[in-house]
Amino acid sequence: MAPVPDKRKVGEADVQKLRQLLGGTQASVLTPSDDGYSASIERWSRAAEKPSGVSIRPTSAEEVAIAIKYACEQNLDVAVKGGGHSTAGASSTNGGLLIDLGRMREVTVDTDKQQLHAQGGCLWGDVDEAGWKHGFATVGGTVADTGVGGLTLGGGYGMLSGQRGLVIDNMVGATVVLANGEIKKASKEENSDLFWALLGAGQNFGVTTEFVLQAYPQKDVYMGTMVFMPTPENVTKLVKAVNDFYRVPEGGVSKSEGRGMGLLGLGKPPDAGGNTVILFIASHDGPEDEGKELFKPFSDIGPIVNTMATGPYPMVNNMVPSMIGMRSSMKGAAFVLPIREEFVHSMLGKYQEFNKQCDDAAASLVAWELYDPSKVVASDEGSFANRGYHLNSLIMPMWTKAENDQQCRQWAREMSLMFKDELEAHGQTTSDGIEGGASVRGHKGAVLLYGNYDVGNYLRNDVSGTRANKGQQYDEKSRDIFGTNHPRLQKLKAKYDSTNVFNKLFPITPETTNDGHL
Ligand SMILES: Cc1cc2nc3c(=O)[nH]c(=O)nc-3n(C[C@H](O)[C@H](O)[C@H](O)COP(=O)(O)OP(=O)(O)OC[C@H]3O[C@@H](n4cnc5c(N)ncnc54)[C@H](O)[C@@H]3O)c2cc1C
């Protein structure tokens, strides 16, 4: 086989050819002078936008297949946009061919099988609303306008994860357009190797045009936000309440029993009068009296705002404001319980210091995500390699001016490294899974980091320069994320995408033969 060729930008002749190939279909082929082009390259974070050479807005798997086959044959750089929330720029291309799935947002409900069929461009709000009409819900993202595509293909955590596991643990099938334009069904019964790859490393294997998700009967949820002033006394009490409620004792179950989700955050919401506050955004999948009793240790602390009340399930994924249109760079990290009070104080200090230095970044957030991971740990589905009793944390600088890009990104890196130091201070040991790795590793030799949280700089220092260096760096990062699953993914990459068309998020180099060829 031939070596992986360089990808190239789209030229005028490509645009003409694509217009010809897609003529007579419903797909739009857009260049910068066309209406709709600007919207196609918009991303949740303005800092993640790049100008595509051409944007294709398909309405079916067949239309996707025509465009992808052409791009593959012509070695065009390709990006795929689902909900557009990647802050790493993973759904954008500088001059290449963009598949914008924004016109494929239909959800159909199979009430007999209790399954939701979501097209590849759906947002979680689409899925929540469609399921709820029939009294169903599935595990999905906690912010309704996040894309089903990227979130699912990288694993997916949601409000129901404590009871039902990751999103991929509830994915029962998919339709995928491969690099050569073939349209394949994937499930445990059909193309099961492709299905395994999709469950965690899915962005690397094709354009998923349909997700089939298992749904469950769902009732109203007790949910809301409590806001606390960051006094030393409040920090002490909150940290204790969090540790008591979410910590999973060895061999036992947490007090949350998997039905309570939470997010402990540091923020400066607009209505807090310029003050830094501590937010506790929480939900309990159960009746109100039960929820009130369970969250009493929190409400007894004396929040200055408490909106906890019962409401329909879709509301639970609308509690965190989406803040579309700002510049943002997400950095994920990990932590284990118990949280140390001193650590929260040092994060508070750093957060306030940063806000003083950059008054453009008041909307920034630092969050500890809380749930009982027992169910996630119990499953071993797919190529996702980051399961464990650790939890995800998130540093999300949000700002408006491009001149602040560097400063805000640097702050996020520094904060994520503080989480890393704290994790190591908790005595987490590295596994011997993969040599020369960065940070703490879990039982599959992968770092304890969620790849969808843009963790690149937490893994290794960026080494730019030669293409070879870049390739090596990517491979190392991908090994960090996929751990002992990486070699199998490389084999499957050679089978399903040997020229690495899908290469934007933790790209996997197809397995090579001894002569360095694919
Ligand atoms: C505000 C916010 C809230 C979040 N909340 C959560 C949460 O609750 N739980 C959680 O697990 N994560 C969460 N995330 C992280 C989220 O999982 C990632 O940002 C993810 O990339 C979003 O997917 P997307 O489709 O919106 O992104 P995009 O930017 O469109 O895509 C991200 C990657 O997925 C690929 N992709 C997208 N759709 C497809 C498809 N159909 N077929 C093939 N490839 C595709 C893209 O090519 C790209 O590589 C959140 C992120 C943000 C910004």
Task: Find out whether 256 and 246 touch, Cβ atoms under 8 Å.
Answer: yes
Report the separation in Å between the CA atom of 99 and the middle of ligand 1, taken as the mean of its atom positions. Answer: 15
**Single-letter amino acid code for the residue at 263:** L
**Got the DSSP string for 366-382?**
EEEEE--THHHHH---S
Q: Which two tokens stand for residue 61?
A: 């798997």
Pick from 319, 211, 206: which is nearest to 262 by CA?
319
Listed by start position, the domains of the chain span: 12-103, 107-217, 221-311+326-425, 466-518
Report the separation in Å between the CA atom of 219 and the middle of ligand 1, taken as the mean of its atom positions. Answer: 27
**Single-letter amino acid code for the residue at 190:** E
Task: Find out whether 452 and 458 touch, Cβ atoms under 8 Å.
Answer: no
Report the separation in Å between the CA atom of 403 and the middle of ligand 1, taken as the mean of its atom positions. Answer: 26
The pLDDT value given to residue 429: 57
Report the separation in Å between the CA atom of 329 and the middle of ligand 1, taken as the mean of its atom positions. Answer: 13
CATH class entry, domain 107-217: alpha beta
In the chain, the N- to C-terminal Cα span, in Å, equals: 5
Pick from 121, 132, 128, 13: which is nearest to 76 by CA?
13
Task: Find out whether 42 and 86 touch, Cβ atoms under 8 Å.
Answer: no
Task: Find out whether 54 and 15 touch, Cβ atoms under 8 Å.
Answer: yes
Task: Find out whether 91 and 84 touch, Cβ atoms under 8 Å.
Answer: yes
CA distance 510 to 508: 6
**Got the DSSP string for 464-501?**
-SSHHHHHHHHHHHHHHHHGGGHHHHHHHHHHH-TT-S
CA distance 102 to 58: 8
What is 221-311+326-425's CATH number?
3.40.462.20
Judging by DSSP bridges, how do beta strands 391-396 and 331-335 pair with one another?
antiparallel
Task: Find out whether 382 and 152 touch, Cβ atoms under 8 Å.
Answer: no
Q: Which two tokens stand for residue 173?
A: 């099938």
Q: Which two tokens stand for residue 170?
A: 């509830």
What is 12-103's CATH number?
3.30.43.10
Q: How many helices (H) and strands (E) does the chain have?
A: 16, 21
Maximal C-alpha separation, the chain: 68
The residue whose CB lies within 8 Å of the most ligand 1 atoms, and thus the one to mutate among 42, 49, 60, 91, is 91
CA distance 291 to 241: 14
Beta pairing partners, 57: 28
The pLDDT value given to residue 454: 79
> Residue holding tokens 């919401």?
269
pLDDT tens for 473-509 read: 457 889 999 999 999 999 999 999 999 999 999 999 9
> Residue holding tokens 């630092």?
366
Atom from ligand 1 closest to the CA of residue 208: 42
Q: Rg of the chain over CA atoms, in angstroms?
A: 22
The pLDDT value given to residue 424: 83
Q: How many CA atoms lie within 13 A of 101 on its CB side?
A: 32
DSSP H or E run through 83 = none
Each residue's pLDDT, cut to its tens digit, for the chain (518 residues) gives 444 568 999 999 999 999 999 999 999 999 999 999 999 999 999 999 999 999 999 999 999 999 999 999 999 999 999 999 999 999 999 999 999 999 999 999 999 999 999 999 999 999 999 999 999 999 999 999 999 999 999 999 999 999 999 999 999 999 999 999 999 999 999 999 999 999 999 999 999 999 999 999 999 999 999 999 999 999 999 999 999 999 999 888 899 999 989 999 999 988 888 899 999 999 999 999 999 999 999 999 999 999 999 999 999 999 988 888 899 999 999 999 999 999 999 999 999 999 999 999 999 999 999 999 999 999 999 999 999 999 999 999 999 999 999 999 999 999 998 998 898 887 665 544 444 455 688 889 898 899 999 776 556 443 333 333 444 445 788 999 999 999 999 999 999 999 999 999 999 999 975 544 44
| Pocket, ligand 1, Cβ cutoff 6 A | 44, 79-86, 90-91, 101, 120, 141-143, 146-147, 149-151, 153-154, 156-158, 203, 207-208, 322, 330, 452, 504-505
Task: Find out whether 139 and 241 touch, Cβ atoms under 8 Å.
Answer: no
